[in-house]
Amino acid sequence: MAGKILIVDDEPVVIKSCERILSPEGYAVDTASNGREAIGKLGKNSFDLVITDIRMPDMDGIELLRWIRNSKPETGVVVITGYPSQESIKEALSLRILDYLPKPFSPALLVEVTQKAMECVKAGETAETPAEAYTEEAAKQLDSIIKKFRNRPGSLIPVLQEAQELIGYLPPSVQRHIARGLKLPVSEVHGVVSFYSFFTMKPKGKHNIRVCLGTACYVKGAEEIVKKLSERLSIDVGGITDDKKFSMETVRCLGACGLAPVVVVDKDTHGSINPVKVHELLTAYE
């Protein structure tokens, strides 16, 4: 089964069409004619994706979306709307919908949007917290980056590099934006981001600390350094301090084994670090 979908619309013809198009694609499709009925079904069963109209009597799509974000945050949502520019679409976007379908839509568009949304659900992107640095202004700049590289071969990596420079990291929302702009499957963009270690999906602090846990550093006590940094900054590996000053990650061999144990802060390499020196090191960046 390709996934479980709940279609919510007060127009029976829309529900029937969606069901007729999506069932042969391998999806298990259920339907509801308004938000309230949808909540009843969501309370009893879990669905990967909800495709809902925005304008419906009784309980509309936005109210339903709010309920989903509170009660079933892992569920993906695509909204159907006749007015893509209306205020409610903005609200829907802020409630982290995965996509929207402008009415009337073709069967091909429904299948494409559903497939992409399902990929995002499976990649666990629906519970994503919105990226602070991914502002409207940043999104515009990202469009210019995409435009600059769009028709060049091998454009994905340079676009990702510039996007990471712009936003600081590559959260799923940015990956989706790039996938759309370059007309690539989200899975391809996600595959490249997770393959190369210089791309990151997590936000970094003003100063990013990388502690080497390669063999040479490990035998010289790198684990103790990680422990000390965790205590001092009150974060775990992969975390970022509340004031966003420091983030910490571990890496495998930084190519400076002669200096083991090694810690790199931003672009500065610090060798022969021990737990006592950790305090001095942090003070220098504070």
The residue (of 127 and 219) whose beta carbon lies closer to ligand FES is 219
Among 257, 275, 277, 285, the residue binding ligand FES under the rule CB under 6 A is 257
Which span (123-131, 145-153, 208-216, 242-250) binds ligand FES, by CB under 6 A?
208-216
Candidate ranges 152-160, 176-184, 207-215, 242-250; the one touching ligand FES (CB under 6 A): 207-215
Indicate which single residue of 170, 174, 262, 278 sits in contact with ligand FES (rule: CB under 6 A).
262
The DSSP element (H or E) to which 20 belongs, if any, is: helix 12-22
Question: What's the CA gap between 269 and 254, in Å, rounded?
Answer: 9
Q: How far is the CB of 251 from ligand FES (least distance, A)?
A: 8
Smallest separation, CB 254 to ligand FES (Å) = 4
Q: Token pair for residue 155?
A: 């454009």
Which of 89, 84, 134, 110 minimizes the C-alpha distance to 24? 110
In the bound state with ligand FES, the residue whose beta carbon lies nearer, of 145 and 264, is 264
Within 157-186, which residues bind ligand FES (CB under 6 A)? none
Which one of the spans 120-128, 148-156, 210-218, 240-248 is the region binding ligand FES (CB under 6 A)? 210-218
Spatial contact of 27 and 4, defined as CB atoms under 8 Å apart = yes
Asked if residue 256 binds ligand FES (CB under 6 A), the reply is: yes
* Cβ proximity to ligand FES, 70 vs 198, nearer residue: 198
Task: Of 131, 30, 113, 121, give the one whose Cα is nearest residue 74.
Answer: 121
Q: Is 265 in the site for ligand FES (CB under 6 A)?
A: no
Q: Which residues contact 142 (CB under 8 A, 6 or more apart)?
A: 163, 166, 167, 174, 177, 178, 181
Q: In the 8-state DSSP scheme, what is residue 280?
A: H
The least distance separating ligand FES from the CB of residue 103, rounded to whole angstroms, comes to 57
CB of 285 to ligand FES, least distance (A): 20
- Ramachandran quadrant class, 86 (left: phi over 0; alpha: psi -120 to 50; beta: rest): beta
Q: CA-to-CA distance for 20 and 58, rounded, in angstroms?
A: 26
Q: Which amino acid, 126? A: T
Three-state DSSP class for residue 6: strand
Q: Which stretch binds ligand FES (CB under 6 A): 145-153, 178-186, 202-210, 257-265?
A: 257-265
12-22 and 107-122 helices, crossing angle to 10°: 70
Residue 113 CA: distances (Å) to CA of 11, 117, 224 = 20, 6, 48
The residue within the footprint of ligand FES, chosen from 260, 273, 278, 281 (CB under 6 A), is 260
Instruction: Out of 6, 118, 214, 273, name the contact with ligand FES by CB under 6 A.
Output: 214
Per CB under 6 A, the list member of 86, 215, 272, 274 interacting with ligand FES is 215
Binding residues for ligand FES, rule: CB under 6 A, are 212, 214-217, 253-257, 260, 262
